[in-house]
Amino acid sequence: MVKYALHDIASVIAAAQAGKVHFASTKVEQRTANEGFNHLDVCHCITAISTDTYRTTLQYENSPTAFDVHLCRFRGETIYLKLKLTPSGTVVVLASFHRSEYYA
């Protein structure tokens, strides 16, 4: 089965390299900070996504745009990322960023 991320991975990486990553909520931002990751860490991790790290796309009723899920290796740990691009394609909206027990 071939699977493809909804959001262009190169555009996601470019936005992260430019530091244009926003948290979908303060809860997501707080959990990320509680796990010891700062904004720069988040940006660096996102630049490591690829077609190999992509797992699935999730659609929620309250979001017109679906989120892509990736499992990435970062600093020796597996990180669960749930993200989407804004309609302009220049900003990453991060809905989840945390350690995962699943191996990328």
- Residue 46 domain flag: yes
Q: What values do phi and psi take at 90, rounded to 5?
A: -115, -5
pLDDT above 60: residue 1:
no
- Residue 53 domain flag: yes
Tens digits of per-residue pLDDT, 74-86? 999 999 999 999 9
Average pLDDT over residues 38-64: 93
- Residue 2 domain flag: no
- Residue 15 domain flag: yes
Point out which residues pair with 94 in neighbouring strands: 23, 83
Neighbours of 46 (CB within 10 A): 24
- Residue 65 domain flag: yes
Q: How far is CA 78 from the centre of its chain?
A: 13
Angle at 40 between CA 8 and CA 38, to 5 degrees: 120
Average pLDDT over residues 39-53: 96
* CATH code: domain of residue 28: 3.30.2310.40
- Residue 3 domain flag: no
> The domain containing residue 36 runs over which residues?
9-99
Q: State the total domains in the chain.
A: 1
pLDDT above 60: residue 2:
no
